[in-house]
Structure 1
């Protein structure tokens, strides 16, 4: 059993998208333009550890539950190829979950509660809902929960659950952004459902529409939310570049729905989450340096991605 086999089992390059979500969620509840200088950065680091462990565990258990179909469609993967045994994968995934939940508990009960909800969402998707009509919603729910995890230590939960107030005051930033990423990931999941073989254009087009709906929801928050009234046009332009890049790959895959084209489009959509998070964080905090730090997560994602597949 090689180390590379375990990194492939975890689809390691994609974990950096989960870390960027944590930074974004944390910024929406703790790093406003007038944030105090004594920011508890240790909480951000520990929440990132929680998110990373749970994300990687989800990938491990995804392959555990898919081992029979992977033996036919993806025999090169670690479990069907025999490079990692099922028992070893289960042990490894369980350790990751244990570390993730323990780390969340260190931050506080709210973070632990969100981490438990995220874990349940992961198992619902991997074990039960993946092939059903609810599969994309479950995957979107995982991303939604991950953004909430980032904000869990400092979120105003009374406001986040006061639906009556939202009718007049609108959605809190954390919910609006997490909701936009939820829609985006639902679209990505729809687009990727047939990536192992020749994809049908109908489902691909449906996925494209949902992806763009999610992007437009995030753009709407960036451009029109009251708390972003002074947002610089450069952030809107940067977000527009991201939308163009994503849609160019989606259009290529729609024109030629081969596994290679579709998988490339899925890879671009996943890694674009890092840039989406970086732009939204920069716009919210007014701190371009923090945004560049988050955008820097793209470097290890791309570097490791040359060695380990993402999808």
Structure 2
């Protein structure tokens, strides 16, 4: 059990459910319902595998830094060797690409772009100014992966999935910027900059909700109120971290944003489909996230 726990910690297992919420959203944006369960399940497998591989390779390439800042992590603590981690990351990446290829050519193309983005971030760009942008690109592509199971005659790169994926990607750009120094006392400039970008992404989503010609009638006031609660919850934690930028406050803010991200996807699912069951299915992904986060880190 200790070995399994070490592997789960290496993969940041609780956070994978946020990636799966992207697939539900993306799929429903192009299908309206889960009409092909096997196809949908393969996209979930593809997304989860690629996400987990990214987490594994993150620790493989960061093992020297983690030995100083996070010696408790599986690789620097010696519970998992670098070779074992690299093999696991490679197998997960192959599984993700294979599942996407089974769905179709467009899914394979998006998965291949996602692999390039993941490796570019983990190997080269993480410590640079382009790091947050590449992480946002990973989220953007993950939503588009969910939307990718459409015929060649349908243009994948159109609204609304393009706009929604871009807004969610912008939110993740800000989150990544905000979390860059979470292991030690953060610089307030980074936190303020990240907060501004986070709220730019949230603002783009609110603007879309208020102005986009959604295909079904919704109670817009109720939807905007729900989003308002999410926005206030996030910003409360952001402000606390800015005022006192110790690791604990920053990490709590990051966990809050990841949980809120799932709720944002659930709200968007409800707005697009007017189906509370799909929205509940998306929001329910918070349950394993919260349970598993008791034993392992989300970030």
TM-score, scaled relative to structure 2:
0.96
Q: Give 2:70's aligned residue.
A: 74
Q: Give 1:307's aligned residue.
A: 295
Q: Give 2:36's aligned residue.
A: 40
- Is the 2:214–2:271 contact (alpha carbons within 8 Å) kept by the matching residues of 1? no
Q: Give 2:211's aligned residue.
A: 224
Q: Give 2:199's aligned residue.
A: 212
Q: Give 2:190's aligned residue.
A: 203
Q: Give 1:24's aligned residue.
A: 25
Deviation at 1:159, TM superposition (A): 4.0
In the alignment, the residues of structure 2 paired with residue 157 and residue 182 of structure 1 have an alpha-carbon distance, to the nearest angstrom, of: 26
- Is the 2:14–2:289 contact (alpha carbons within 8 Å) kept by the matching residues of 1? yes
Q: Give 1:166's aligned residue.
A: none
In the alignment, the residues of structure 1 paired with residue 188 and residue 153 of structure 2 have an alpha-carbon distance, to the nearest angstrom, of: 42
- Is the 1:29–1:155 contact (alpha carbons within 8 Å) kept by the matching residues of 2? no
- Is the 2:148–2:156 contact (alpha carbons within 8 Å) kept by the matching residues of 1? no
Q: Give the 3 Å change call, closer, same or farther, for CA 249–156 of structure 1 in structure 2.
A: farther
Secondary structure at 2:75's aligned position in 1? Answer: coil
Q: Give 1:139's aligned residue.
A: 135
In the alignment, the residues of structure 1 paired with residue 43 and residue 293 of structure 2 have an alpha-carbon distance, to the nearest angstrom, of: 24
Deviation at 1:234, TM superposition (A): 1.5
Q: Give 1:256's aligned residue.
A: 244
Deviation at 1:231, TM superposition (A): 2.9
Deviation at 1:156, TM superposition (A): 7.0
In the alignment, the residues of structure 2 paired with residue 20 and residue 229 of structure 1 have an alpha-carbon distance, to the nearest angstrom, of: 21
* Correspondence 1:162-241 to 2 at 5 A: 172-227=159-214, 230-232=217-219, 233-241=221-229
Q: Give the 3 Å change call, closer, same or farther, for CA 228–183 of structure 1 in structure 2.
A: farther
In the alignment, the residues of structure 1 paired with residue 151 and residue 212 of structure 2 have an alpha-carbon distance, to the nearest angstrom, of: 18
- Asked whether 1:52 is paired with 2:48, we answer yes
In the alignment, the residues of structure 1 paired with residue 224 and residue 282 of structure 2 have an alpha-carbon distance, to the nearest angstrom, of: 17
In the alignment, the residues of structure 1 paired with residue 139 and residue 242 of structure 2 have an alpha-carbon distance, to the nearest angstrom, of: 25
- Is the 1:20–1:277 contact (alpha carbons within 8 Å) kept by the matching residues of 2? yes
Deviation at 1:201, TM superposition (A): 1.0
TM-score, scaled relative to structure 1:
0.92
Note the alpha carbon deviations across 1:223-258, whole angstroms, 9 max, x for none.
111236833122211111111111111111111100
Q: Give the 3 Å change call, closer, same or farther, for CA 203–178 of structure 1 in structure 2.
A: same
* Most deviating of 174-183 and 266-275: 266-275
Deviation at 1:158, TM superposition (A): 5.9
Deviation at 1:222, TM superposition (A): 1.2
Mark the runs of 5 or more structure 2 residues left unpaired by the alignment: none
- Is the 2:216–2:274 contact (alpha carbons within 8 Å) kept by the matching residues of 1? no
Secondary structure at 2:269's aligned position in 1? Answer: helix
Q: Give 1:13's aligned residue.
A: 14
Q: Pick from 271, 278, 294: which aligns with 1:283?
A: 271
In the alignment, the residues of structure 2 paired with residue 205 and residue 157 of structure 1 have an alpha-carbon distance, to the nearest angstrom, of: 44
Q: Give 2:125's aligned residue.
A: 129
In the alignment, the residues of structure 2 paired with residue 230 and residue 245 of structure 1 have an alpha-carbon distance, to the nearest angstrom, of: 27
Deviation at 1:203, TM superposition (A): 1.0
Secondary structure at 1:308's aligned position in 2? Answer: coil
- Is the 1:180–1:215 contact (alpha carbons within 8 Å) kept by the matching residues of 2? yes
- Is the 1:223–1:231 contact (alpha carbons within 8 Å) kept by the matching residues of 2? no
- Is the 2:46–2:97 contact (alpha carbons within 8 Å) kept by the matching residues of 1? yes
Mark the runs of 5 or more structure 1 residues left unpaired by the alignment: 162-170
- Is the 1:148–1:178 contact (alpha carbons within 8 Å) kept by the matching residues of 2? yes
Secondary structure at 1:118's aligned position in 2? Answer: helix
